[in-house]
Structure formats: structure tokens, C-alpha cells
Chain A
């Protein structure tokens, strides 16, 4: 499968714990995006990278959230000191710089208890 893959698919964590998600994009894509989706809503933009550089980060994103793409390939999204409101599906997508993402990953579902 050469699509966008995300790991883990599901994560249950206790409030206050840190969690990290991984995204592996389509190999030739230089842009990588993170979105968050809650039930009944559309995806909400979090941040995106072009190669290693983080080009934009949502103003709504708390300082507890950080993302990296150290070698311009896979990316990690870390949430520190999780809160119940962080429970959501976290989506990753990738694309070339001049195209919209054609495919998203299946997401990581986070449940904070």
C-alpha cells in the first residue's frame, strides 16, 4: 500500500499523559498536513510542512501540541498533558506543493479518559 499511513489507529490515554502519533506520507510528496476531526464535523486544520519546514500552524492550536518532520519524510504529532477535549480523530494527508491532497490517511482516533 503506497497511500498515507498513520500509526496507531487507536489510542486511549489518561488525562494528563503525553501521546505521539506518526504519519508516513506518499513518498514523493513534499507537503504533509495534520487535521483534527470531531464527530459530526469536518476536518479542522492543525499544521502543515513543506519538506522539513513547518509553514503554518493554526492559531487555535494550543502550545501543548507540537509537530515535527525531521527529515522531510514521516511526521510526528505530540500532544502533551492531554485533556478530554483533545479526544478526536487526528488525520494526516500529503501532497505536492501545487496540488491539494488527494488522499488522507485513515486517522488516529484518540480517546482521553
Chain B
């Protein structure tokens, strides 16, 4: 079945460092791809999405590009802040219209030190 694999955490960075969190997927069709973030004490929230190959999702300085050839959707940010400390989840949806169930990776914890 479809699946999502993320790099293991925790990832610890200094403020203003460059961030990459790797995500690869396995899917039989053409899924939509998502990054969710969970800040301490809060519920998951959608960070960004991409619905087809070569699409770039972006939000709050984070970016991810849907790479069909490498089945990847790596999350990047040029300069992280302490407030970015959270757990990040990569996910896919099999549904063409982005609805329906999501399949999540295991999550990557990011800790940013001042």
C-alpha cells in the first residue's frame, strides 16, 4: 500500500540555520502531498501542500517541491527560528481532490536553539 517515510529526528539546529527534512513516498497513483506541523501543546495544522508533480508548496518561509521522479517532498527553510521548534509530519492523500484519508510519516522533531 501507499506509505510515507521521513528522516528520523530529533533534528537540532541553531537559529538562522538552513533546514531540510527529507520525505519520500510510495504511491500507486498520483497523490497530493502535504506537510503538517504540531507545535508543543497544540493540534496538527496544515503547513503546505502540493497537488501535482513539480508543484512547490510554500508557507511561513517553508517550501517543499513535489518531485515525481524521486518520489520526494523534502521540507526546507532558509533560516529557522526558535519558534519553528515543533514536530513535522509529511503526508499523502490518494484522493485526486485532496480529501479523503491521509497517510502520515512518523514525524520529525525539530529543536531550534537560540
Residues of A within 8 A of B (CB): 3-4, 31, 33, 35, 40-45, 48, 55-56, 58, 91, 93, 95-107
The closest CB in chain A to the CB of B107 belongs to A42
Do A91 and B98 have beta carbons less than 8 Å apart? no
B106 touches which one: A3, A4, A41 (CB < 8 A)?
A41
Do A97 and B99 have beta carbons less than 8 Å apart? yes
Within 8 A of A (CB), among B70-114: 89, 91, 93, 97-107
Once bound together, how far apart are the Cα atoms of A74 and B44, in whole Å?
19
Within 8 A of A (CB), among B2-57: 4, 32, 34, 41-46, 49
Do B97 and A48 have beta carbons less than 8 Å apart? no
B43 touches which one: A40, A44, A97, A103 (CB < 8 A)?
A103
A100 touches which one: B89, B98, B105, B106 (CB < 8 A)?
B98
Residues of B within 8 A of A (CB): 4, 32, 34, 41-46, 49, 89, 91, 93, 97-107
Do B100 and A48 have beta carbons less than 8 Å apart? yes
Once bound together, how far apart are the Cα atoms of A105 and B32, in whole Å?
22
Complex contacts, A58 vs chain B, CB 8 Å? 101
B64 to chain A, nearest CB (A): 14
Once bound together, how far apart are the Cα atoms of A100 and B99, in whole Å?
5
Do A45 and B98 have beta carbons less than 8 Å apart? no
Do A102 and B46 have beta carbons less than 8 Å apart? yes
A107 touches which one: B32, B43, B103, B105 (CB < 8 A)?
B43
B36 to chain A, nearest CB (A): 8
B74 to chain A, nearest CB (A): 17
A71 to chain B, nearest CB (A): 21
